[in-house]
Amino acid sequence: MTDWTSRYCASLTELDRFRDLVDSVLALAAHRRPETDPQDTQMRIDAVAHRIRGLIPHLAGRGNLEEPRSVDGLLAHLDDAVFVEHGLGRVEEVSLHPDAMDLELVLSGVPGLPVTNALIYCSIAERVGLDVFGIEVPGAFLVGIRDRRFKRLTVLDPSQNGRQLDGSEFQQLAMQIDETLDPRDFLSPASPATWLRRFLNDLAITSGRSGEIHLLDSWARLSTVTEDILG
C-alpha cells in the first residue's frame, strides 16, 4: 500500500513545474481516496494538452515549445478544450465538499472550487507552452498568462468559464481587497507554498462542512509538514 504522506513529503522537494504541483495535490487527494491513480490523472491532462497542440500545426513538434507563438490562438483552443469540452468552471453553485478539491474527480465532471480549477487550467496551459501562473485572491484563484511576443498580460478566472478581467476590473478587485496596496502587488505569481496552503485550507473547510472530520488531523499535520519543508 502506498504511503501517501511520505509521497506527499517527497513531492515537496521538487516543485519546478505545475506537473510537479499536480503530483503533490494528487497525493493530498489520496489521503481520502487511496485508490487515486496519479499517473492516470497526469496522462489525462497530457491528452488534453496534446489535442490542443495538435490543432495548431506549428505546435505539433516538441521542439517548438520555446518558439514565439500566438497566445490568442492557443488561448482560444485551450478555452474550447477546458471550458466547453470538459465543462471546467461552469457558472453554477459548487458544493463545499472535498470532492470539489480532487483533480481526478473534477476532470471527470465534478464542479471544482477555484484553486482546483486554476491548477487544472495552469497544468494544461503549461503543457501547451504558455507562460502561465496563479494569482491568489480571497474567494477566487485567478490565472495570469504572459505573452512574451507582445509583452502583454492576460488575467482570467477559470471558475467563471475563463472570463478575462481587464485592467480596470482587476484594479477594482484589488482595491476591494486592500485599497492601500498597489494593484500590481496582487499580480505576483503564487508560489508552490501558496498553492498548497490554499489547498490544505480549503480541504480543512470542506472536510469539516461535509462531515469528514476524521480527516482534519491529517490536513493539520500535512500543513505543518508543508510549512517545515517550504517555509
Q: What is the pLDDT of residues 105-163, one digit of tens each?
A: 999 989 999 999 999 999 999 999 899 999 998 888 999 998 877 678 889 999 998 89
Burial of 59 (0-12, 13-18, 19+ CB in 10 A): buried
Least confident of 9-13, 150-154, 160-164, 198-202: 150-154
The domain ranges of the chain are 4-230
58 — pLDDT class (breaks 50, 70, 90):
low
62 — pLDDT class (breaks 50, 70, 90):
very low
Count the residues in the chain: 231
72-92 pLDDT, tens per residue?
778 888 999 889 888 887 767
Closest CA to 20 of 218, 192, 225: 192
Average pLDDT over residues 193-210: 97
65 — pLDDT class (breaks 50, 70, 90):
very low
Q: Is 110 left (phi over 0), alpha (psi -120 to 50) or beta?
A: beta
71 — pLDDT class (breaks 50, 70, 90):
confident
Burial of 170 (0-12, 13-18, 19+ CB in 10 A): buried
Query: Rounded to an integer, what distance in angstroms lies between the CA atom of residue 128 and that of residue 137?
Result: 25
| Beta carbons within 10 angstroms of residue 58's beta carbon | 11
Name the β-bridge partners of 83: none
21-42 pLDDT, tens per residue?
999 999 999 999 999 999 999 9
pLDDT value of position 147: 84
Query: Rounded to an integer, what distance in angstroms lies between the CA atom of residue 174 and that of residue 207?
Result: 29
- Dihedral angle sign, alpha carbons of residues 94, 99, 100, 105: negative
pLDDT reading at 181 higher than 80: no
**Contact by Cβ (8 Å): 161, 85:** no
- Phi, psi dihedrals of residue 146, rounded to the nearest 5°: -90, 135
Question: Which whole-number Å values give the CA distances from 189 to 22, 26, 41, 146, 210, in the listed order?
Answer: 17, 21, 25, 11, 31
Cell numbers for 6: 511520505
> H or E segment at 156?
strand 152-157
Average pLDDT over residues 55-63: 58
Cell numbers for 25: 495535490
Query: Rounded to an integer, what distance in angstroms lies between the CA atom of residue 71 and that of residue 149?
Result: 9
